[in-house]
Structure 1
Amino acid sequence: MLAARLLLIMLALVCLAGCPSQSNDPTKKSQTVVTITPAAETKFKEFLRDSPGDHIRLSIKDHGENGFQYALNLESPPIPSGAVVQDCQGFTLAVSPRDLVYVEGSTIDWETRLNEPDGFKFDNPNALKSTTEQTTKDRQ
């Protein structure tokens, strides 16, 4: 019993030391879901430059023997109810609870490639292989 209490106290201290503060929306708490490299952060901000208030939604489009296929969508508010929110230096990332188990602990990077189009790269400890689909909302 004492060991369980000590473990809970230690977990609470780790969370207090490592969890970001609340997002701009006081009803949604921010938590760290993925690590975003400086190169990826720069690209996300570029994509959102003309869309203040919008957020990036990260989801798993498909998963199977070939790994995960990720989708990154630029979306207008509101953030869907129940979504896990991560405040990132100047933008917001939202992940549905359904996809959280698959993406948690991942690192998102931006790669400049010689023989292929530049793009986001996922390093996900939960998957063997991955592909990324980048989509944006229609701007009419």
Structure 2
Amino acid sequence: MAIKLTERAAAEVLRFRKEHNFDDSMLLRIGVAGGGCSGFNYTLNFDDNYDEKSDSKYEHHGVAVVVDKKSALYLDGTEVDWFDSLEKQGFTFNNPNAVKSCGCGSSFQA
């Protein structure tokens, strides 16, 4: 399995990329870092580096997604979506590997 980016999330990434004048060489890097109230934080950023040996690369709805192999162990099967309402706006992570998540959904425990 891999990480999946929904159509709504991909549209938001493409909008952000265009708004900030990023060219197509900028990849969306998704990862995990230690910290947060549950143990791990999700990370999202743009990166123009891709290493075949240490990264996995996926394509979803016109967006190239890169994940380092260590983070991939925690993110396998995760769906990244975009949520937009009056009270909250942002990316959400539906991670089948998370045994516990914080209230805001930005950190998890595996």
When normalised by structure 2's length, the TM-score is 0.77
Kindly report which structure 2 residues correspond to 1:21-60, keeping only aligned pairs within 5 A, or say none: 33-49=2-18, 50-51=21-22, 52-60=24-32
The superposition leaves residues 20-73 of structure 1 with CA deviations (integer Å, 9 ceiling, x where unpaired) of xxxxxxxxxxxx611221110101111222222110111102268715310101
CA RMSD after TM alignment: 2.1
Work out the CA distance in 2 between the residues paired with 1:36 and 1:56: 10
Work out the CA distance in 1 between the residues paired with 2:36 and 2:63: 30
Instruction: Report whether the alignment pairs 1:61 with 2:33.
Output: yes
Instruction: Report whether the alignment pairs 1:112 with 2:84.
Output: yes
Q: Which amino acid aligns with 2:74?
A: Y
Work out the CA distance in 2 between the residues paired with 1:68 and 1:112: 24
- 1:102–1:63 distance in 2 versus 1, CA, 3 Å: farther
The percentage of counterpart residues that share the same residue type is 24
Work out the CA distance in 2 between the residues paired with 1:42 and 1:115: 20
Bigger fraction of residues in strand: 2
Aligned twin of 2:50: 79
Work out the CA distance in 2 between the residues paired with 1:88 and 1:36: 6
Work out the CA distance in 2 between the residues paired with 1:41 and 1:88: 7
Work out the CA distance in 1 between the residues paired with 2:71 and 2:83: 23
Give the structure, 1 or 2, with the largest relative contact order (CA under 8 Å, sep 6 or more): 2
Tell me the matched-pair count.
Answer: 99
Aligned twin of 2:106: 131
Decide which structure has the larger Cα Rg and report it: 1
Aligned twin of 2:68: 96
Partner SS for 2:11:
helix
When normalised by structure 1's length, the TM-score is 0.62
In structure 2, stretches of 5+ residues that fail to align are: none
Aligned twin of 1:70: 42
Runs of 4+ in 1 over 3 A off after TM superposition: none
